[in-house]
């Protein structure tokens, strides 16, 4: 059975999520991230091209690379959007306890 967190603990958790999200969002604006993101997208395109040309037995490895690269991009996007959900949850929590 899960232990109910106190309001203070929940707010601290949401604040931590907001801070992480803001840091990720700031990172995505930096030149280094843009270079890395471009490289990742290029790797996805390259591996898709390889899969289209390769033998069936070589496909799982290429698919694994594509999934890994896409998961990095998707996770960064999720983290960057997390602050909106955390703000909403924190406001709901504060409204409930008024």
What length does the chain have? 98
Angle at 23 between CA 20 and CA 29, to 5 degrees: 145
Distance CA(57)–CA(54), nearest Å, equals 8
Percent of the chain topping pLDDT 70 = 93
Instruction: Give the model's pLDDT for residue 19.
Output: 93
pTM of the predicted structure, to 2 decimals: 0.68
Interval 40-84: pLDDT, tens: 999 998 888 877 777 777 677 778 888 899 999 999 989 888 888
CA dihedral 46, 49, 51, 53 (to 10 degrees): -140
Domain ranges of the chain: 18-96
Interval 8-33: pLDDT, tens: 888 899 899 999 999 999 999 999 99
Instruction: Give the model's pLDDT for residue 62.
Output: 75
Q: State both tokens at 97.
A: 């306890």
Cβ atoms 1, 69 nearer than 8 A: no
Instruction: Give the model's pLDDT for residue 24.
Output: 92
Burial, 37: exposed, middle or buried (Cβ in 10 Å; 0-12, 13-18, 19+)?
Answer: middle
């Amino acid at each position: 059975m899960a232990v109910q967190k106190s309001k203070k603990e929940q707010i601290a958790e949401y604040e931590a999520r907001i801070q992480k999200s803001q840091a990720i969002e700031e990172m995505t604006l930096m030149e280094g991230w843009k270079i890395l993101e471009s490289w990742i997208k290029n790797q996805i395109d390259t591996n898709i091209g390889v899969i289209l040309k390769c033998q069936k037995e070589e496909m799982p490895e290429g698919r694994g690379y594509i999934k890994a690269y896409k998961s990095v991009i998707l996770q960064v996007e999720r983290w960057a959007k997390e602050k909106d959900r955390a703000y909403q949850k924190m406001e709901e929590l504060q409204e409930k306890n008024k």
